Homo-oligomer: A and B are copies of this chain.
Amino acid sequence: MKPTVHDIAAHAGVSLATVDRVLNRRPGVSISTREKVDRAVSELGFVRDVGAANLAKGRVYPLTFIIPSNDNSFMRGLRHALDEAKASSVLERTAIRLVDVPAFDAVALARALDEAVADAPAGIAFVAVDAPDVLAAAERVVAQGIPLVTLVSDLSGAARDHYAGIDNAAAGRTAASLLGRFLGGQAGKVAVLAGSMLVRDHRERCDAFSDAMVRNFPKAQLLPVLEGRDDPGTVEQIIGALFADHADIVGIYSLGAGNRGLVRALEGVAEDKRPVVIAHELTETTRAALQSGLIDAVLNQDAGHEVRSAIRVLKAKADGLPVIAAQERIRIDIFLKDNLP
């Protein structure tokens, strides 16, 4: 049967207290004794029973999540994922605190980070705005020794322990491949609709998409990037104007949120003139648009996965444990109308 600390003690010929000191890196053990214990651990294949350990420790991990108070479906999904994480927080021994900040507001975000530090949580996760103020605040967090994880959108510069989000360049390339191939060699104008070039995820998607389009589908003519602030109203207006200005739009890549406005604008386009549309995030809106054919493909990041990954990483970092990068990679889901969950 599964070896216990008692078995380790017996096998190493030391007392339980010494085994405990070694396992929990407490001081007061000579190097030779430490090695004896380590040898016994590996020889018997001892694995600490996490359940029992948590039970004994009674430890809880107070975690702070800083989320933009942006009212779009994706952020609501993220909130929902956090609520679920809260619901199971008892079992996970986490105490999750949610902090709202205005969207795309570097100063407010930096202040929120500084305030979060004051509570001395076991870790902080936040949706980054890629700006100097935020970077400086992040560095203060890290300087306090508090594990810091960026969520959904990353921060340039190394002032964070981990990024829990998708590879946005890959997402942009994938969108280009799908759009290009769905066009089937057709020539025409392709529009890119972003939320804000201030956030790194949008910038990366946009750059990778443009790059891949130019390289692989030269027949498509890329229009200048549109910024919709992830707001449905703004988006509807921008896209409406787009179709008014250009008669030959054959493709749209919507890489941010606010797709409710996009769909409303698309509904006004004659069926035979509808462009190929690739959007991000599977929501009620994009799901319905996929099914009705207004949107052709949706790239999605699973907010639940991102939140759970962030929590796992923060807990691991708080305990000084290594993170298995491969296990924490967030996948890019591709949805067509045929494989909707």
Given A51-B52, A55-B52, A184-B185, CB of A339 within 8 Å of CB of B90: no
Give complex CA distance A139, B124 in Å: 51
A49 within 8 A of B: yes
Surface stretch bound by B, among A108-116, A174-182, A187-195: A174-182
Complex partner residue of A173 from B47, B90, B174, B338, CB under 8 angstroms: B338
A103 within 8 A of B: no
Give complex CA distance A329, B170 in Å: 25
Are A47 and B171 in contact, CB atoms less than 8 angstroms apart?
no
Which residues does A use to contact B, with CB under 8 Å?
Answer: 2, 47, 49-52, 54-55, 90-91, 167, 170-171, 173-174, 176-178, 181-185, 212, 296, 329, 331-334, 336-339, 341
Minimum C-beta distance from A281 to chain B (A): 16
Query: This chain: how many copies in the complex?
Result: 2
Q: Which of A170, A329, A334 has the most CB of B within 10 A?
A: A334
Q: Determine chain A's interface SS by DSSP, over half rule.
A: helix
The contact sample of 12 A-B pairs, CB cut-off 8 A, is A50-B91, A51-B51, A170-B338, A170-B339, A174-B338, A176-B338, A177-B336, A177-B338, A181-B296, A331-B341, A334-B334, A334-B336
Set of chain B residues within 8 Å of A49, measured between Cβ atoms: 55, 91
Give complex CA distance A85, B51 in Å: 18
Nearest neighbor of A166 in chain B, beta-carbon distance: B339
Are B331 and A212 in contact, CB atoms less than 8 angstroms apart?
no
Complex partner residue of A339 from B91, B182, B334, CB under 8 angstroms: B334
Are A338 and B90 in contact, CB atoms less than 8 angstroms apart?
no
Set of chain B residues within 8 Å of A54, measured between Cβ atoms: 51
Nearest neighbor of A48 in chain B, beta-carbon distance: B91
Give complex CA distance A2, B331 in Å: 34
Q: Which of A178, A181, A332, A338 has the most CB of B within 10 A?
A: A338
Are B2 and A90 in contact, CB atoms less than 8 angstroms apart?
yes
Set of chain B residues within 8 Å of A176, measured between Cβ atoms: 338
Set of chain B residues within 8 Å of A183, measured between Cβ atoms: 184
